[in-house]
Amino acid sequence: GAEGGANTEAPAKKKKKRKKKNNAKPVQTDPPTIAIGDLFPDGNFPEGEICQYRDDNLWRFSSQEMKMKDYAFEEALRDARQAAEAHRTVRQYVQSWIKPGLTMTEICEKLEDCSRTTIKENGLQAGLAFPTGCSINHCAAHYTPNPGDKTVLQYDDVCKIDFGTHINGRIIDCAWTVHFNPRYDPLVNAAKAATNMGIKCAGIDARLNEIGEAIQEVMESYEVELDGKNYQVKCIRNLNGHSIEPYKIHAGKTVPIIKGGEAIKMEEGEFYAIETFGSTGKGLVHDDVDCSHYMKNFDIGHVPIRINRAKGLLNTINRQFGTLAFCKRWVERAGETKYLLALKHLCDLGIVNDYPPLVDQKGCYTAQMEHTIVLRPTCKEVISRGEDY
């Protein structure tokens, strides 16, 4: 253009321009070492995918009143977008090196180290929202390695990487499925298409049961051939999406992934994790042994504790995690030793809840895709959307 023409005439001008670039904001390194907050010092973090509402809510996009309401929403959005940019940065990094032969512990620790850096971990103000799920094959959710776990990722595994970031309790809950053998493509694509359908159907006044029905129709239109046998992909009927509130990952509303749920409506201002799970098994999960995930009961008041070790552990949990989920690796990282009985005691008292791994039948495969969305007054924003998914 004309500007380019002007520059070629005057090398001096060109030099000035270069200098200006050096004063510009820093660029992310590879591997990522710069906090997202430092990359966007003005606090204008990238927005997610913007989707207009449909039909009866189409007017919201250009409504002055709704735009004013959007302004009041700005702080929550800024925090969520910062957490989402950290999530995108971390997962892009993980996608560049994750491969068969690595232990699940190596994968999770490398991911979490990068996550702590990009989110600029700071007490309960900024950090990891829950442990890195890396559930394999028939295990659909809530597996992360415990200390001493030597499990190795295999070429034929289907692994769901589900991790969360937060700023001031604004949680980004977002997941994808890692696989190396192309035979699983239809299974992974089913979950991806089903989640995107759920996102498409979500909106102010959308009924949760109708979203579930639309998700199921898409998921079950896929089939996968494994060892000469065809499997119709099933929705895992007792797993679902959920509303999210500050420091509260499951805030009370569930987004089913099958038909027949309740006709409850989504409302303005709500955050949701829209997630779907496809399976070649029964399409039903149950608790497995060897729990790794724990979370303090959000609504628990003061409970008197007589056992000193349990009291000490609760102090650590309150200080390190608050009401955010945690795992045994993180308890050890916080300096606790010989904590297992104390942890069991806190669970028995109902102060802490355990969330064991959720498994379908052995030998089957499960896939997941998940995004966090927010129902802004003017539009629906898929905050965690990235170039990858």
Q: Which residues are known catalytic residues?
A: 162, 173, 242, 250, 275, 370
Is the CB of residue 303 less than 8 Å from the CB of residue 272? no
Write the CA distances from 96 to 32, 146, 251, 337, integer angstroms.
Answer: 12, 25, 33, 35
Burial class (CB in 10 A: 0-12, 13-18, 19+), 27: exposed
Q: Within 10 Å of residue 201's Cβ, how many Cβ atoms?
A: 20
Of 158, 135, 138, 134, nearest to 281 (Cα)? 138
Q: What is the CA radius of gyration of the chain?
A: 22
Is the CB of residue 153 less than 8 Å from the CB of residue 381? no
φ, ψ at 54 (rounded to 5°): -110, 165
CA distance 254 to 239: 9
For residue 22, the one-letter residue type is N
Alpha helices in the chain (DSSP H): 2-9, 11-23, 36-39, 64-72, 74-97, 104-119, 185-201, 208-219, 308-320, 328-333, 340-348
Is the CB of residue 235 less than 8 Å from the CB of residue 215? yes
CA distance 350 to 198: 34
Q: Which residue(s) pair with 243 in the sheet?
A: 272
**334: which DSSP letter?**
T
CA distance 269 to 256: 20
CA distance 146 to 49: 36
Residue spans of beta strands (DSSP E) within 317-384: 326-327, 352-355, 358-359, 366-375, 380-382
